[in-house]
Structure formats: C-alpha cells, structure tokens
Amino acid sequence: MQAEQDAIPHDDPVALFDEWLGEAMETEPNDPNAMALATATPAGRPSLRMVLLKEHGPDGFVFYTNAQSRKGEEIRANPRAALLFHWKSLGRQVRIEGPLEEVGGEMADAYFASRHPDSRLGSAASDQSRPLDSRATYLARVEALREAHPDGEVPRPPHWTGFRLFPERIEFWISREHRLHERRLFERSGAAWTSSLLYP
C-alpha cells in the first residue's frame, strides 16, 4: 500500500499539473484542456460551465470569454473562481481555486488573432448569454461579418478578453478501487506551497 499512499508527490503542484495534463493529452479523446469554471455573484449565487484552458504556469491559468456574458459579469463583480479538470481516462481530477485578473489587451489580441477565422466571426457576432429569437438571426450576423471582413481579419471585440486565475489552492485526486480514493491539497502562502493529504 505504500506506493499508493505516495502516488501524489508533495512538492510542486504546478509541475505535477503539467505532468498530468501531458498524460491527459495522450489519453483523453476530446479536449483534455477542458475545465469546469465556477463563478458566483457577490451575493453567492453560483454558476458553472465548461471552458478551455489556453495557457498555464506558476502565475496562473488563462481562459478567454465574452466579458459581457454571465460568467464575465460575475467575474468582474466577484473576481474569484474555481476550476475543475476531470480526466476520466486516467481516473484523475484537479481542483484549483483563486482570484482572477483580466489579461492585457495585447495578449487578448494575440490569442484572438490565432483562432480560426470562423471562430473569430462567431465570437464577434455573439451577444453571449443574451436572449436569441432564433438561430437564424445569429447565423445571419455571422454572415454579415464575413461579408464585411472577406479576408477573415475580424478585429477582437473590446468585450472579448481573457482572465487569469492565480492559484491559491490546488487539489489532486486519484480514483482508487472500492472508492478508497487519494487526495492531496496544496495551499499557497506567498511564493511557497504546503501540502497535506485529505480523507476521500
């Protein structure tokens, strides 16, 4: 049992996340960088959705969205969030919590420009989270933008941006037989991390 007890290293959670994400890239059939993003209003009303991790490192985990969407408005009103990665193929989960900050305009521009032209059109045409009378209306807006920008160079809308979550807590979970799961929690204090095992 000793090998099982020590399966989650206790030193560097960011390096461990890199390792686990790399393994998920090899085993997950779709979007290994998909993560559940939980936000809440200042009054504590939560909401949850799937987004894609686009960049990560010791300074945080970055995703992009429409800042006028429900999640964008909640982030700006209450800039804290939680992330959850679930890699079923590996029997692993990672939970991350911390404050959020908006990325700079140049960084958002660079990522928006790297997207497929149709993805840029779709984002620019969407009033994300707002009521829509019919899908035809949305598709007509996409086509109008396509005609206005036949070269595909759609400018980034000012409300389309990125957010970086600065990790304060990272929890790693491994599935075990008979639900004798393994959990290790890392908590940041300044630049240092401490870790402890949790009961499953």
In a domain, 97, yes or no: yes
pLDDT tens, residue by residue, 1-60: 444 555 787 789 999 999 999 999 999 989 999 999 999 999 999 999 999 999 999 899
Q: What is the model's pLDDT at position 190?
A: 87
DSSP track, 47-66? EEEEEE--EEETTEEEEEEE
In a domain, 149, yes or no: no
In a domain, 165, yes or no: yes
For residue 161, give both structure tokens: 């941006």
pTM (predicted TM-score): 0.90
Does the CA dihedral 76-78-79-83 come out positive or negative?
negative
In a domain, 129, yes or no: no
pLDDT tens, residue by residue, 109-140: 999 999 999 999 988 888 888 899 999 999 99
Q: What is the model's pLDDT at position 148?
A: 92
Residue 188 pLDDT > 50? yes
In a domain, 40, yes or no: yes
Active site residues: 179
Closest by CA position to 174, among listed 74, 70, 95, 83: 95
Residue 133, helix vs strand vs coil: coil
Helix pair 117-125, 135-148: axis angle to 10 deg: 120
pLDDT tens, residue by residue, 85-111: 999 999 999 999 999 999 999 999 999
In a domain, 151, yes or no: no
Q: How far is CA 131 from the centre of its chain?
A: 24
The CATH number of the domain where 171 resides is what?
2.30.110.10
* Structural domain boundaries enclosing 57: 2-112+159-198
In a domain, 140, yes or no: no
For residue 168, give both structure tokens: 């304060």
Q: Quick one: the chain helix, strand, coil %, rounded to 5?
A: 30, 35, 35
Cα separation of 166 and 156, whole Å?
Answer: 25
Cα separation of 165 and 95, whole Å?
Answer: 12
Q: What is the model's pLDDT at position 6?
A: 54
Residue 128, helix vs strand vs coil: coil
Total domain count, the chain: 1
Q: What is the model's pLDDT at position 44?
A: 94
In a domain, 50, yes or no: yes
For residue 180, give both structure tokens: 């004798």
| Residue 130 near residue 70 (C-beta atoms within 8 A) | no
Q: How far is CA 116 from the centre of its chain?
A: 19
Q: What is the CA radius of gyration of the chain?
A: 19
For residue 33, give both structure tokens: 């960088």
